[in-house]
Structure 1
Amino acid sequence: MRWTAILWLCLALPWPGIPAAAAEGLTPRVRALHVRAGPGTEHPVVDLAVRGDRLDPRERRDGWLLVRNARTRRIGWVRARYLRPLPPPSPPRQSPSTAQSGSQPTGTGRKGTRKAPGLPPRAASRALRPAPAVPESRPHGPPGSFIPLLTLRLHMEPLDAAVLMRKEADDTSTFPARVRLEDGTTARARIAVLGSSSRHVRKRSLLLYLEPGHRWHGQRRIALDGLGTDPSLVREWLAWHLFAALGVPGPRVHYVRLFINGRYQGLYLFTEWVDAELLARRGLASGGRLYQPRDATYCGDLRPPFDARRLQHCWHLPDGKAAREALARLGRSLAAARVETFDAFLATHFHPETVLDWLAVNVLLDDGDTYNKNYFLYREPAGRWAVIPWDYDLSFGRNWDPYLPYPRNLFNDRFQYYYPPESGAANPLKEKTLRNPRLRDWIFRRLRHLLGLHREPGAPAYGWFTPAAMQRRLDRLEHTLRRAALADPRLGLTAARWHEALEAIADFTARRRAYLREILDGATPWDPDRATWDPAQAPPPPPLPHHLHRKGRAGPGEEETLLTAPGWGLVVAGLALTEGEAPAPVSAELDAGPPAAVPPGQDPEACIRRTWFVTATAPRRTVRARLSFEYLEENAHRHEKGSRVKEPGLRLWAFDGVRWQPMPTRVNTLSNVLRTLGPVRLAPQHMLRFVACSGKTP
């Protein structure tokens, strides 16, 4: 009895380092605070404390407090710096009607609905809020536009569901859930946050493990990409459908609307789990072993050394010493293989089409976020290897910025289309394939086929990467996903912003196609023997030219003619003649650097550091055309924006030699493309000068 009294006396005294008011209880300084099983972020989350909860301290250790949450009655550890003394309760305010009839019973609200005591109104209703209206997946839009949407319904404890979407990036804990299967029955599952860098965005990717004996759409492991790193929501879908069209072994993907406890959680991309069973269904020999580079170490590049310690550090390896030694033998064989005979090496050790199509698609989509991670190797029992692609959110122009801190270096609005075919991390499999003349010729034939430049007999997906085909694909996706995407509670998309992101995909397609065509035709030199250039590493590549010039013929119609500079492959200007006009010769130039002259009243620092010049070169013929120009924003050190540029307010100005004229302009701030809203009159042999500024029009 005496020891019990001493214990209660100790708990009642103020704790060292804790405000004296803590004897009356503490509460989070922030809206919500994780409560963990131990004093450290490596321990799983066991509770969620919200602002206003009373937390009674029990113990202090290394900046953490053991507390008891009076609302949930759970005990766990929280960071002490996120706590403050609980303010004294305010005296109740009674309305006249309350004073006459008495207060409402505790725990009920209007019409007797349940309330969570101690929670702020917004947090209290979050777990009990009804689901927003989300459309069923019915066909709508033009014929052929429908892409099926799956629906996945889960049931979880409300607190677990709230914690799941707020877990810290390094939290690997799981929660129980029940999954509704296709036949209407339910199965038990565990759910966790999936991914590496994507854990830092507001909308997390998720992974469900169904109990043995149950599957959802053929899968026991359900991987749901939250699409929180891609404002267009379509990059991964497009990449996987291209691989499927080429017959490359790999996962199939489907869009999914996720509901937890009846509440709509948003649009996800369901990606089949990559394992030996899946790859056997895709035509590879069953019973093989799967190897995956570790995403966080950036060293799964098949380069030496191949000792056990480095292999364990760089790869997720199958169990057993023999599996590790097989990868080491492959690495040593790659290092010893000669470029001149690498086509024979590839045919002996690999399924060569898996390597060649992987490289061709990476070149096409400008995906350099691989070669040291973001792919799998599959070894069949007979010893042949296959490459399995993975992770294409940093493609279609999205760019890593090495000058920004993590994770902003990944999640930004940087854009480019002009990285050469060898860009990306060093990897002997990539480098020796591109340097071997026969293998390089195969990849270039495949690229011409996909770009719609020359058909390969018997090859699939001809013209897959043309602007017209891509636009039709984007229209289908926009019609199908629009309502579910805009209702997503965590993405916060607006219709205008999403349309801009989809248009950036189309802009990339047209410009990447023009750039690669210059390389394939030999107009822009490319040396496969030069050292691999990794755009993720500083210092920056050599500077771009200060002056570019291109003559060409502009044609009518919706698809604009892009004038690319010989030797560089960069777009100088885009023109689309008005309907009914015959093709016309034109000339376009650009000067990089601060404009030599700007319109009256415009701040030079609010202007793009480029000047464009366009001329109709046919004598005695006036041309009317819609124009487009682009500016550079590759990374924080390599861009052409003045220090006071406000991108949404950019407007083109035209100077005819006498006066400046503002042009109605539409700007895509993701692809950095400026477009005139109407046709511009180009007089014969008369040059127009253009600049872009974001100052107010006088």
Structure 2
Amino acid sequence: MGRGAGGWVVGLVGLLACGPGTPAAPKGVAPASEEVRPGRPDEAVSDAGTPTASTGEYPPVQSTVPTFALQVAPGDLQKLNADPTSNESIPCTVTLDGTRATGRMRYRGASTRDLPQKSYKIELGPGQELGDRDHFELLASWSDGGKLTEKFAVDLYQAMGLPVPRARYARVSVNGEPQGLYLDMEHVGKDWLKHHGHERDASIYRCGHRNCELTPKPGSYQSNFEKKTNETTGREDLTAFLEWVNRSDDVRFEEELERRVDVEAYLGNLAADLLISNSLIEDSRSFWVHALHADRWTYVPWDLNNARMLYWRTWNPASAPVVDRWPQPFTLYDPAVQELFETRVTTRPEQRPAWSVLATRVWDRPALRARVLAKVEAALEGPFSEAKAQAHLDALWKVVEPELRNDPYTSAEHVKRARQYLRDYVRGRRAYLLKTLDALRAHGSGPLVIREVATGTTGYVELYNRGTRALELGNYEVTNDLRATVRARLAQGTLGPGQAVRLTASGDTSKGPLHLPFTLSRNGGEVGVFDRERRSKATGRAVLYGPEDAVWFGPLPAGTVYGRKGGGESEDFERRTP
């Protein structure tokens, strides 16, 4: 619809609609009386070899800090330092707990390889293991002022019973030179499947670079999913999964989600992300594990140091934590979507708003949303209570603080403040969340909704005012692409309470003010309506998040429409004939 379309008033005649229309938890950490196998992040296994049940308690804190002693030829090390961004590995020898093994190593990470303290990726040679592991991810955490954030986050997720990779603190030396304190993060691969009780032949997919959105195809600035196991087989399972996420409707969404996904784990991750302000999942390179026999997908998070609770060592040491990030991270309702877009589009014109399709759809379903919030409330009473969270931070600090004294890469000023910073974050975040729970429960209760969608040559979008006051339609925009930065502005007009307006998706605005500049595919798609009066503080443009309503729909054959039940008042949808 052109912005210059003439004004009009919506009447009731002709514009109303035609009709009213707990799976097995991850392994716990070995109790003090149980021997922890060398070389593996602390974990316990039940007699049956399956994960032990979560108790809602943090794992016991390690009592010793192992050392990874790496030996490499000086020439090879020089080659590695000449191009830290290269993924070409060099030969190495690793000694851990008195046991030696050979393999290859390289630097790891995306934006961290140019930092003074390097992170390492190690792959042992065929048939070699250290403590039942053959891959190691040694994270330097240089940007974390106290090296507490990611370990605390991992332990919190574990306390919530989530399938997060385990982590422990370790020292690293290279050719006898101490490199400081690291986080030994469990590699997500075949060993992970074995240690966490998953199908041994499951397919592991890793999100591509800046591509954890679950869209069908990556953008030009993103990379595709990597297949980490079963590499020689096809990717039809991933293609079908992404197609379902993006091209299915809400009629059977919850039922299908239960069948396709480890829902308890996924909803728990949404709750945990909310607690730690994890809004940069876009580039986390997290994992989706497909159990081939059960035909179920499990989400496994990665890079929890992307959370906004991180105590950045590049900040002023006296900086206070930011505790009021909106608690729907990495969804279409997250203000950080706007911030990230406006930051990146200046150097990458093809950048699109980044958010997770699946997480957004979960928040839009009342029953699923209620389950997420129930998990949040349980965490606020349990592991994220002030007493339990701060006690665990204090226990971690007893391990970390002596090690940081000898870490050649730390900032002494930040180390002094690190523990208190995170204690302040927990206290402030809890207070903020407790104040916003009611608003989260009321998500999706706005007055303007999409009541019905039809596709093809007779396609349309029908908007409905279920509120108590008249709405000025010229203040709204409609789109068939929820990541679009330009949307179709509606012409001036008044939509009173209980009234609806049908906008024809003809793709030809010259036919009149009730025609949209796009069509709707019978193969499925999405539609959203946005309030264009909401503006970005930084640029003054209409915001790219927080639609008044958004709808996904699957393939719709001719003669079938998709819409809300109950004339538009319901949050439940159905397919029907006009």
| TM bucket, shorter chain | 0.5 to 0.7
Whole-angstrom CA distance in 2 between matches of 1:281 and 1:305: 32
1:317 maps to 2:227? yes
Deviation per CA, 1:18-77: give whole Å up to 9, x if none. xxxxxxxxxxxxxxxxxxxxxxxxxxxxxxxxxxxxxxxxxxxxxxxxxxxxxxxxxxxx
Aligned partner of 1:223 among 137, 142, 145: 137
The aligned runs of 1:668-683 (5 Å cut-off) are: none
Kindly tell me: are residues 321 and 302 of structure 1, through their superposed partners in 2, closer, same or farther at Cα, counting changes over 3 Å? farther
Stretches of structure 1 that go unaligned for 5 or more consecutive residues are: 1-143, 401-407, 453-462, 532-536, 539-635, 639-698
SS of the counterpart of 1:237? helix
The alpha-carbon deviation at position 229 of structure 1 amounts to 2.1
Whole-angstrom CA distance in 1 between matches of 2:251 and 2:436: 22
Deviation per CA, 1:136-179: give whole Å up to 9, x if none. xxxxxxxx876431111222234544665x44442233222212
Whole-angstrom CA distance in 2 between matches of 1:270 and 1:329: 34
The aligned runs of 1:79-478 (5 Å cut-off) are: 147-161=63-77, 164=80, 166-182=81-97, 184-295=98-209, 298-305=210-217, 313-317=223-227, 323-339=234-250, 341-371=252-282, 373-382=284-293, 383-398=295-310, 415-424=321-330, 425-452=354-381, 463-478=382-397
Q: In structure 1, what residue type is equivalent to 2:91?
A: P
Q: Is the 8 A contact 1:417 1:512 kept in 2?
A: yes
Q: In structure 2, what residue type is equivalent to 1:231?
A: G
Deviation per CA, 1:355-388: give whole Å up to 9, x if none. 1111111111110111564311111112211111
Q: What is the TM-score normalised by the length of structure 2?
A: 0.58
Partner of 1:519: 436
SS of the counterpart of 2:131? coil
Q: Is the 8 A contact 2:204 2:288 kept in 1?
A: yes
Kindly tell me: are residues 294 and 304 of structure 1, through their superposed partners in 2, closer, same or farther at Cα, counting changes over 3 Å? closer
The alpha-carbon deviation at position 317 of structure 1 amounts to 3.0
Whole-angstrom CA distance in 1 between matches of 2:271 and 2:211: 22
Q: Is the 8 A contact 1:399 1:416 kept in 2?
A: no
Q: Is the 8 A contact 1:250 1:279 kept in 2?
A: no
Deviation per CA, 1:182-226: give whole Å up to 9, x if none. 3x3422221210111111211111011212222122211111001
Aligned partner of 1:509 among 422, 426, 431: 426
The alpha-carbon deviation at position 486 of structure 1 amounts to 2.1
Whole-angstrom CA distance in 2 between matches of 1:174 and 1:218: 22
| Structure with greater strand share of residues | 1
The alpha-carbon deviation at position 259 of structure 1 amounts to 2.0
The alpha-carbon deviation at position 262 of structure 1 amounts to 2.6
Whole-angstrom CA distance in 2 between matches of 1:145 and 1:305: 42
Whole-angstrom CA distance in 2 between matches of 1:271 and 1:190: 17
The alpha-carbon deviation at position 523 of structure 1 amounts to 9.5
Partner of 2:513: none
Whole-angstrom CA distance in 2 between matches of 1:320 and 1:172: 18
Kindly tell me: are residues 501 and 344 of structure 1, through their superposed partners in 2, closer, same or farther at Cα, counting changes over 3 Å? same
Q: In structure 1, what residue type is equivalent to 2:415?
A: W
> How large is the RMSD of aligned CA atoms in angstroms?
3.6
1:492 maps to 2:410? yes
The aligned runs of 1:68-79 (5 Å cut-off) are: none
Whole-angstrom CA distance in 2 between matches of 1:217 and 1:324: 32
Kindly tell me: are residues 305 and 185 of structure 1, through their superposed partners in 2, closer, same or farther at Cα, counting changes over 3 Å? closer
Kindly tell me: are residues 275 and 321 of structure 1, through their superposed partners in 2, closer, same or farther at Cα, counting changes over 3 Å? closer
Q: In structure 2, what residue type is equivalent to 1:464?
A: P
Kindly tell me: are residues 238 and 380 of structure 1, through their superposed partners in 2, closer, same or farther at Cα, counting changes over 3 Å? same
Please identify the structure whose Cα radius of gyration is greater. Answer: 1
Partner of 1:480: 399
Kindly tell me: are residues 523 and 294 of structure 1, through their superposed partners in 2, closer, same or farther at Cα, counting changes over 3 Å? closer
Q: Is the 8 A contact 1:173 1:192 kept in 2?
A: yes
Kindly tell me: are residues 333 and 507 of structure 1, through their superposed partners in 2, closer, same or farther at Cα, counting changes over 3 Å? same
Whole-angstrom CA distance in 2 between matches of 1:327 and 1:474: 38
Which shows bigger deviation, 415-424 or 257-266? 415-424
Partner of 2:529: none
Identity within the alignment, %: 24
Whole-angstrom CA distance in 2 between matches of 1:507 and 1:433: 30
Kindly tell me: are residues 365 and 168 of structure 1, through their superposed partners in 2, closer, same or farther at Cα, counting changes over 3 Å? same
SS of the counterpart of 2:418? helix
The alpha-carbon deviation at position 266 of structure 1 amounts to 0.7
Whole-angstrom CA distance in 1 between matches of 2:445 and 2:329: 11
Q: In structure 2, what residue type is equivalent to 1:466?
A: S
The alpha-carbon deviation at position 277 of structure 1 amounts to 3.5
The alpha-carbon deviation at position 527 of structure 1 amounts to 4.7
The alpha-carbon deviation at position 479 of structure 1 amounts to 1.7
Q: In structure 1, what residue type is equivalent to 2:327?
A: P
Whole-angstrom CA distance in 1 between matches of 2:195 and 2:163: 9
Kindly tell me: are residues 524 and 252 of structure 1, through their superposed partners in 2, closer, same or farther at Cα, counting changes over 3 Å? closer
Q: Is the 8 A contact 1:293 1:376 kept in 2?
A: yes
The alpha-carbon deviation at position 426 of structure 1 amounts to 2.0
Whole-angstrom CA distance in 1 between matches of 2:176 and 2:221: 45
Q: What is the TM-score normalised by the length of structure 1?
A: 0.48
